[in-house]
Structures are given as C-alpha cells and as structure tokens.
Amino acid sequence: MSKSEMIAPIKNLFLVNLGVRSGERVLVLTDKKSKAISQIAKSVAECGKELGLKIDFLQMPSVSSHSQEPQELVWKKVFSPENVLSLKQEGLFKKLLSKEASEEESQRAVQVLNLRNLPDVVIAITYFSTTHTNFRRLLTKKGTRYASMPLFSESMWTGAMDVDYEEMAKQASKLKKALEKGEDIEITALSGTKLKFSIKDRPIHIDSGILRNPGDFGNLPAGEVFLAPVEGTAKGRLVINFKKDKKLSSPIIAEIKNGRVTKLTGTNKKASQLRDVLEKEPLASSLAEFGIGVNPKAKNPNNILEAEKILGTIHIAFGDNIGFGGMVSVNFHEDFVVSSPQVVIWKKKTKQVIIESGKVLI
C-alpha cells in the first residue's frame, strides 16, 4: 500500500478505535525483529503527527517470545527512570520482569507508579505480543489505553480492520451470554482436535476493537470472545497445523491432561521449539485461553493475529493468562487456531452446540 492509501485507515485507528483526543500523549511502540512491521509502526507515527496529534515513537530491542517482558531500558523510557527506581526500591522490579510477582505485589506496583509520566495511549506494533505482560498490565491499570498489534500486516488495514464494529459486538455479546450460562466446553474438529475443559465461574471477555475508555486494551484487528479455562480441568488433544505466521509442513499433536501438555508429537522445527519452551518453563504447558473468532472480514489463516479473529474459528493458547481471569503467570503465551470446529457448551447434562463445522449458530 502507498502512504496515501494508508492515511484513512490509520486515521480510523487513532479516532475510531482509540478515540485519541487533542493533547493526549500517544506512544507508538515497535521492535527490531521485522523491518516490515517496524515500517508500519513508523507510518502510523508519521500519520499521527500529520493529524496534529502528540506522538512519541520508540523502537525497542526484540524479545524472544510472546508474553516476554520488555527489557529494563524500555521500562525506563516508557515509565521513566524514576518510576523504575521506585519499583526497585520496593523490591518489585525483578519480580515483575520474571513474572514472579504475587497479586498483592502487582497491586503495590500500581500504587508506586507516578501517573504523570505515563502515556495516555500505547499502540504496540511489534513482532512478539506485549498483551500478556506486566508491562502492559501496569500501564492499563494506571489508565493507559493499549492497542496490541503483533505481526500486523498492511493487508489488515483494508481487511480485518475495515469491519462494522457495532455488528461484530452484537455477535460477540450473543456468544458471551451463552458461555456465561455454561460450565464446560467440548471441542472437536476433523483435524483430530478433541478437548474438554471447565469454564465455570470464569469471566468472559470481548475484544471489540473499541478502546476509548481509560484502561481499555485489546488486539487490533479485533474480533474475539475469550476466557481462561479453569486450571487443571483440560483434557484431550490439540492438533496444531499453523504456527504464528505460516502453515506447518506437518502437524504437531499436543496431548493434554489435568490442564497441562503432557506429550508433544511432531518432527518439524516448531515442535522442537515448543518442546524447548516447555522444558525451560513448565508453566508454559498450561492451557491458558479459549477464544472464538467473530470478525467477518478476517480471512488470513497464516497470520495468528488475524487468524484467531476469523468468524467461526476457535483458538487455544498455552502459557500466561493472569491478565484475563486465570492463575498462570509465565513469560510465554502462544495461540493456535482450530478451523471448522464443533463447539458444545455443557451445563450438567444439557448441551448447546454454538459452532458446527465452523458456522456460528447463535
């Protein structure tokens, strides 16, 4: 896309999705992993300045996985050196970076931070996701609006971003109401995926794409209903055919018992990488998220940011979920999409099929 073609959708990002107001400070954050992604971030920052908005731009060193905390120098630039020093003096900073901080310590960190030094809005156009980080959580708890856009591509401006947000929210609300009445979820797919887990009393979240209130955060492109399954309840098998940016040459099969991956079968490079992660970070084997895509304009199965939003797909993630109702805190979170699933909500012996062969029924 030319710069002139990008102006209208980028303007919508600032004004429609984020509702940026005159005088607000906006931080456009990117990393060095992908030149294409960092260039998109630069274009967003330049367009924001042309719109007369107060824009800061920061390109940070890359991390090595989704959910990994940014380096100390990034915290200092975003939160200020004084805030980081305060966190260190309280003995909190190292625990936040390693995700070992308790809920009480996390709340204490929120109290320590000086609100005056923080951006009003963060647009994180990075390779690895910052959504499931303490870095993001502390910003949003202090009122920053946060759009996480990992693996963003130019085609999304005129595709999954160009959606009727009001209609999408209506579909998401119907699914949320159905999930709130359920106790267990059962998933099957022709690929061989077969999973069951409890969702009893877990909060159900909607990623609507409208992030205009203090503390709002979500993915862009948006379009999912998601939750953290109850720890220790998941059992079955997840067949993985796609990694974050392409189709796999052969599937990976994750056997799951008591909420954890107990066996990983696969001969490709991605399987080896996952095994390494699970060996180094045992908590990364936790089944962390169940989500349903509700974006009718999302089409690309080869990019996880868009693929997990495709209407009628579901996605399962392993790793961190402390930020949306779960109890697992770890420097890892990765999603895997299942196409054309059947999804059944159970409450005792009563069942409701909400997705059949990838078609949403409610």
pLDDT at 317 over 70: yes
Domain coordinates in residue numbering, the chain: 3-157, 163-360
Q: Average per-residue pLDDT in the chain?
A: 95
The first and second tokens of residue 17, run together, are 């999705």
pLDDT at 193 over 90: yes
pTM: 0.91
pLDDT at 294 over 70: yes
The first and second tokens of residue 306, run together, are 């868009």
Of 143, 146, 86, the C-alpha closest to 113 is 86
Q: What is the mean pLDDT of residues 79-92?
A: 96
The pairing of beta strand 25-31 with beta strand 54-60: parallel
Gap between the Cα atoms of 287 and 330, Å rounded: 12
**pLDDT on residue 266:** 92
344 Cβ neighbours under 8 A, 6+ residues apart: 185, 186, 187, 351, 352, 353, 354
Residue range 201-241, pLDDT digits in tens: 999 999 999 999 999 999 999 999 999 999 999 999 999 99
pLDDT at 159 over 70: yes
CATH architecture label of 3-157: 3-Layer(aba) Sandwich (3.40)
At what angle are helices 81-89 and 103-112 packed, to 10 degrees? 140
Over the range 136-156, which residues count as b (16 or more CB within 10 Å of their CB) and which as e?
A: bbbbbbbebbbbbbbbbbbeb
pLDDT at 268 over 90: no
**pLDDT on residue 162:** 95
**pLDDT on residue 116:** 82
Q: What is the mean pLDDT of residues 293-303?
A: 95
Gap between the Cα atoms of 198 and 188, Å rounded: 15
Q: What is the mean pLDDT of residues 162-171?
A: 95
**pLDDT on residue 247:** 85
Q: What is the mean pLDDT of residues 35-49?
A: 96
